[in-house]
Every structure is written in C-alpha cells, then in structure tokens.
C-alpha cells in the first residue's frame, strides 16, 4: 500500500456526501432553500450511531435523565429567557442587489479578525468602511450601509389566528429549564442531577454556509447539569490525568498558542476555573477521539471577556480544524442561576430545590402584622399595598422600625404611620433548611457539526494494487454499515449462499449491505467510501469448504474464516479484536 493522505477539503467532501448518500441540499426538485439538508441513507445511519454514542457516554454512563420536549414553544417562555430581546445576529443589506449578509462574517472573511461576533454593530460598520468591504454577490461597496440586529427565531402561531404566538425553538435547553420543577421531583430534589435532550433546533440564519456547519435546521445534543454551587463537586478523580488542548483567553490576548495540560494542572493553574467545566471538557475530549475526531486538529478555546454571554461566568468552545478554519462544534458554559431565576420570576412555579441543614437552626426573623382597622381608614385603596411594602421593608431593613414612626414609599409617594400600628416584631423560628436555585453547567453539542468533522477527519486517500482509492476510516461502532457481503459472481449458487449469510448476519445484529453489482474491486471501493469496516466475499471455496474471505477496510488485509464462525468473529472484531494476529 502507498502512503495515506488524511483529510478532505470542502469540495471533495460535498461531492462524496452527495454521491454516496451522506447528505445533500433538501428540496432541490423545487429549487431548494439554503440552510436545509437531507441526510441520505448513509448519513442518517451515521447520525443515528453518533447520537447513540453520545447518549451512551453523556446520559447512560453519567446516570443522567433524558427528555424529549416540543419544538414549538409559546412566546412567554422566550420572553422570560430573554431570547426575544437578545437572540440576534448582525445583518447588512446590499443597496444594489438586495442580498442580505451577516455583517460579522463579512469582516471575518475580509480581515485578520477571527471572531467578530462580539464586536457590536457600530464597530462592525466601522470595519466594513475602513476595509472597503464589498458585497460578495455583486461587488457593490457597503461602507455607508447600516448594520442592524436581526432576531434569528422562526415565528409561528399556535392554533387558529394570531392570538397565541409561538416560536420554533432555537435550542433544546429551554425545553429542559421550563420543566425544571417537575424534573427536580423525578430527581427526588437531590442535587446534583443532569437532564439531557437530543432534538432539532431552528435558527433563521442570515447567510447559511459551509455545508452542515451553518444551517437553519439542525440537531443538538444538550446536557443541563444542575448543581449546588456551594457543595456539589464532580468526580474529578476519574479524569484528573486526561490531557486537554487548551487555548486560553490569556493565550489569545497575548498571541500565545495551544497548551496541553492535564485536568489537574489546568485547575491548579487557574486556566479552567470550574471543576464541573473541567470534568466535562475531559469526558468530551475522550468521546471526540472515540468517534474519530483527529486530536491533532482539535482544541478547546476559551471565550474572551467580551465574547461571554451576560449570564455565563466561563465558557469554552470545542473547535475542530476544517479546511484551514477552526469551527466550533460544542460549547461548554457555566450559566450560573440565570435561566432558572428568570423562569422563577416570570412563572407561577418555584425553580429551586430545598437544601436541608445538617442540624435545625434557630434564627430571628422580623415580621409585621399591620392593624388593618387603622390602615384601611387611613390609606383607603392603598392600604393593601402599604401592608405589602411594610412586610418587604421588615425583611430588607428591620432597623427602619426602630423609631416611633415608619415610612414606606409607593409609586414615588411616601406614607407614614405609627410603628405600633405595623405589628412589627422579631420572632425566633426554627428552620430545617433553605431553598436553593441551582447553577447550570451546560455542554451543548452540534450533532451535524460533529458529524461533518468526523467525515472530514476520517477521509483517507491511498493506492491499492496500483489504483488510487478513497475511504472513510470510521470507528466500527459508528460506521453506517458494519459489513458488506458479496458473491464473487452471481451464478452457480454463489448469490443464494451470500444472501443466506447476509440474512444470518442481520439476525445476529449486524448492519449489512449486500452487493453483487460490478467487479469485486469496485464493490470494495464502494464500501470503503462509506466507511464499512469489513467485507465478506463468498466464492467457490465457500461452497466446497464452508469458508469465506473477510477483508479489513483500512489495511485491506484479508483472511479466510469459517462461515459458521462469522457472527462470533465479527462480534469480536467490533469489540476491538484484530482480524489477523
């Protein structure tokens, strides 16, 4: 075999993906719509296997729950979460051809700035003018055009008419947060606990591009880990020696480079501040490698201070190098108590859990019991509001009741009354615990982006017997098909025997592709291109001696195995055994 070339550029992968049925633009018979893709037979199978692998690692092995929430969400949920006000990208319209462009991408494509999203509309407009950036569609200069915020959510209505507005969810996370009170019950109100979800998200991208990298409908795999910030710690000892490729904010600001350090080193040096973030960076790094991401083209990049969302105390992106560009494939964020606190404020539910004390505590607690027979005649319709404000003032500032009179303010107007009429008192109370709003650690995976990365990183080219070939070095448990079954030729009973073997292997739990079209070399190449790890060829010796040729994809090594031993041997190969000792 000749030397192996690794990796595929965007054009090569797009051609392979369409030709072999991994993915292709949707609805092309009607002109299509950018940002929507159909996963073909090979791609759908690869995507299922990738999701199953994620579920096994982040749900099953971590003992987390999984839910499936609706993709259409009522408007009040996004009013509470802040998506209606702040889920925006920057848009710029060409005055000549009318094409809409994402303004920060124009800056990134035409300058040395790699991350322009956090710069704001005014700064982006200045950069477009300073660099004389023109419309990619028609060449018109865009220096004088306004850069505006564009909300990315798809709006719809729930039921007839427009009285109940809703949105296609832009992420799966809110479907978890909004159900927290019930999910906490299922977790017996015991922190920490995690809730995962794999599902579709929708974002009305201004300029979808780079194939599966930026689309309008996509699949997310998200985990929301709910923790008590004062007491919960992850099992960091399980991952303390895992090496992380970290591109910290300090390194970025000082033109530094990726540093490789263990989890413990990263925590001790303060490069990663949160043990929970470090824990998930570690188990995700091991998972990426297991599914075929090239660790030489992978890094964790920390968000710079001006990139951080207002609710996040720290955030790291898993990035893969694709065709010369670093692309985010996962975000890891410490969201604090932001999401649950917002829903607690906007809904009628309590988004907290009760944390019992080791021993009951006796505390002094101020309270008021206003004399309503005095407040009513004195303040009329405002009496109830005055009573509520007195209760709030007692909690906020008990010293306000030290004098003979106490004053409260309502809508800019001050109300005064004798302290004795407030019923103010400080009472001892025994409490057994307190309500805590959990903090949230969120790893959020873009399944389409991870799938695209795996395809790019697993692509290989070499020569076999003087002929060039391309193949996908996919892990065996990820490949769409595990074994191809061929008759050497479809005559003399070879085809019937191969069909029987294929059926037996399917019954044994293997994904099988039967192929009798073209010469045997062409059939091997077809299976190589879709990443099938093994092929079984039935020939005349199979009829005479009950053996078949088994070929391994990467090395093209072949050996003969007894047909009745095929299921057991293939199971061993799938578990990691070598074809030839």
As a three-state string, the secondary structure of 486-530 is EECCCCCCHHHHHHHHHHHHHHCCCCEEECCCCCHHHHHHHHHHC
- According to DSSP, the residues that pair with 426 across neighbouring strands are 366
CATH fold for domain 88-151: Herpes Virus-1 (3.30.40)
Q: Are 322 and 449 in contact (CB under 8 A)?
A: no
Token reading at 46: 């690869």
Torsion of CA 503, 507, 510, 512, to 10 degrees: 20
b/e map 378-410, b = 16+ CB within 10 Å? bbeeebeebbebbbebbeeeeebbeeeebebee
**CA neighbours within 13 Å on the CB side: how many for 354?**
7
pLDDT at 2: 57
Domain with CATH 3.40.50.800 in the chain: 481-575
In this structure, are residues 225 and 192 in contact, taking their beta carbons and an 8 Å threshold? yes
pLDDT digits (tens, 9 = 90+) for 317-370: 999 999 889 999 999 999 999 999 999 999 999 999 998 888 899 888 899 999
So what's the pLDDT on residue 264? 97
Could you tell me which residue, 450 or 580, shows the higher pLDDT?
450
User: How does pLDDT run across 201-259, given as a tens digit for each residue?
Assistant: 999 999 898 899 999 999 999 999 999 999 999 999 999 999 999 999 999 988 889 99
Residue 323 pLDDT: 86
Tell me, letter by letter, the H, E, C secondary structure of 206-229: CCCECHHHECCEEEEEEEEEEECC
DSSP codes of every residue in 304-351: PTTTS-TT-SEEEEEEEEETTEEEEEEEEEEEETHHHHHHHHHSSS--
pLDDT at 56 over 60: yes
How far, rounded to the nearest angstrom, does the alpha carbon of residue 80 sit from its chain's CA centroid? 21
Q: How far apart are CA 570 and CA 478, in angstroms?
A: 15
Residues of the chain with CATH 3.30.40.230: 88-151
Predicted confidence at residue 48, as pLDDT, reads 98
The whole-angstrom separation of Cα 223 and Cα 196 is 4
Helix (H) or strand (E) holding 447: helix 447-458
pLDDT of residue 310: 66
Average pLDDT over residues 376-393: 94
Q: Is the pLDDT of residue 158 over 90?
A: yes
Taking Cα atoms as reference points, which of 352, 314, 310, 311 lies closest to residue 331? 314
User: Does residue 311 surpass a pLDDT of 80?
Assistant: no
581 pLDDT tier (thresholds 50, 70, 90) = low
Average pLDDT, the chain: 94
Q: Is the per-residue pLDDT at 415 higher than 60?
A: yes
Cβ pair 468, 247 in contact under 8 A: no
Average pLDDT over residues 287-297: 97
DSSP 394-444: HHH-GGGGSSSEEEEEETTEEEEEEGGGTT-EEEEEEEEEEEE--EEEEEE
Confidence label for 40 from pLDDT (cuts 50, 70 and 90): very high
Tell which CATH classification among 3.30.930.10, 3.40.50.720, 3.40.50.1400, 3.30.565.10 matches the domain 5-77+156-339+440-449: 3.30.930.10
Comparing 2-16, 208-222, 392-406, 449-463, which segment has the lowest mean pLDDT?
A: 2-16
CATH placement of domain 481-575:
3.40.50.800
Q: What is the pLDDT of residue 119?
A: 87
In the predicted model, what is the mean pLDDT of residues 107-126? 88
Q: What is the pLDDT of residues 517-552, one digit of tens each?
A: 999 999 999 999 999 999 999 999 999 999 999 999
Helix axes 494-507, 566-574, angle to 10 degrees: 50
Contacts of 371 (CB under 8 A, 6+ apart): 421, 422, 423
- The two beta strands, 483-487 and 534-538, are parallel
CB atoms within 10 A of CB 97: 11
Instruction: Enumerate the β-bridge partners of residue 223.
Output: 196
The mean pLDDT value for 70-80 works out to: 96
Domain with CATH 3.30.930.10 in the chain: 5-77+156-339+440-449
């Amino acid at each position: 075999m000749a030397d192996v070339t690794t990796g595929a550029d965007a054009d090569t992968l797009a051609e392979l993906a369409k030709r072999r049925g991994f993915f292709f633009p949707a609805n092309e018979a009607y002109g299509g719509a950018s940002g929507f893709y159909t996963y073909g037979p090979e791609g759908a199978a690869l995507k299922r296997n990738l999701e199953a692998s994620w579920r096994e690692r982040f749900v099953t092995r971590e003992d987390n729950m999984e839910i499936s929430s609706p993709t259409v969400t009522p408007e009040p949920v996004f009013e509470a979460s802040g998506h209606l006000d702040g889920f925006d990208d920057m848009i710029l319209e060409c005055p000549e051809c009318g094409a809409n462009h994402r303004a920060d991408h124009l800056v990134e494509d035409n300058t040395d700035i790699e991350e322009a999203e956090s710069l704001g509309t005014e700064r982006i407009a200045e950069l477009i003018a300073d660099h004389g950036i023109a419309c990619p569609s028609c060449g018109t200069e865009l220096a004088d055009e306004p850069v505006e915020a564009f909300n990315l959510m798809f709006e719809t209505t729930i039921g007839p008419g427009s009285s109940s507005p809703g949105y296609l969810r832009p992420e799966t996370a809110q479907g978890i947060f909004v159900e927290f009170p019930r999910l906490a019950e299922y977790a017996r109100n015991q922190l920490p606990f995690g809730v995962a979800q794999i599902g579709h998200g929708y974002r009305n991208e201004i300029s979808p591009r780079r194939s599966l990298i930026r689309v309008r409908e996509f699949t997310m795999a998200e985990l929301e880990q709910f923790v008590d910030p004062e007491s919960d710690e992850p099992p960091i000892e399980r991952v303390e020696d895992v090496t992380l490729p970290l591109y910290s904010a300090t390194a970025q600001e000082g033109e530094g480079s990726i540093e490789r350090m263990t989890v413990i080193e990263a925590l001790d040096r303060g490069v990663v501040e949160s043990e929970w973030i470090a824990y998930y960076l570690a188990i995700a790094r091991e998972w990426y490698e297991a599914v075929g991401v090239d660790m030489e083209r992978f890094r964790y990049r920390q968000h710079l201070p001006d990139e951080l969302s207002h609710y996040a105390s720290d955030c790291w992106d898993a990035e893969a190098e694709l065709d010369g560009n670093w692309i985010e494939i996962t975000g890891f964020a410490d969201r604090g108590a932001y999401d649950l606190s917002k829903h607690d404020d906007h809904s009628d539910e309590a988004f907290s859990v009760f944390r019992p004390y080791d021993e009951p505590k006796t505390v002094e607690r101020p309270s008021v019991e206003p004399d309503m027979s005095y407040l009513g005649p004195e303040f009329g319709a405002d009496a109830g509001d005055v009573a509520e404000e007195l209760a709030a003032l007692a909690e906020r500032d008990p010293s306000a009741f030290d004098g003979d009179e106490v004053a409260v303010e309502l809508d800019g107007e001050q109300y005064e009354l004798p302290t004795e009429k407030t019923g103010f008192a400080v009472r001892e109370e025994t409490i057994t615990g307190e309500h805590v709003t959990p903090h949230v650690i969120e790893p959020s995976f873009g399944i389409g982006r991870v799938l695209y990365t795996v395809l790019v990183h697993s692509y290989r080219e070499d020569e076999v017997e003087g002929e060039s070939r391309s193949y996908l070095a996919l892990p065996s448990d990820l490949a769409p098909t595990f074994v191809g079954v061929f008759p050497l030729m479809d005559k003399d009973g070879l085809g019937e025997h191969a069909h029987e073997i294929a059926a037996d292997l399917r019954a044994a739990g293997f994904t099988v592709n039967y192929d009798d079209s073209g010469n045997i070399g062409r059939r091997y190449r077809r299976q190589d291109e879709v990443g099938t790890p093994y092929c079984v060829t039935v020939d005349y010796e199979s009829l005479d001696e009950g053996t078949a040729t088994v070929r391994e994809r990467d090395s093209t090594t072949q050996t003969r195995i007894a047909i009745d031993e095929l299921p057991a041997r293939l199971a061993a190969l799938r578990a990691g055994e070598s074809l030839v000792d």
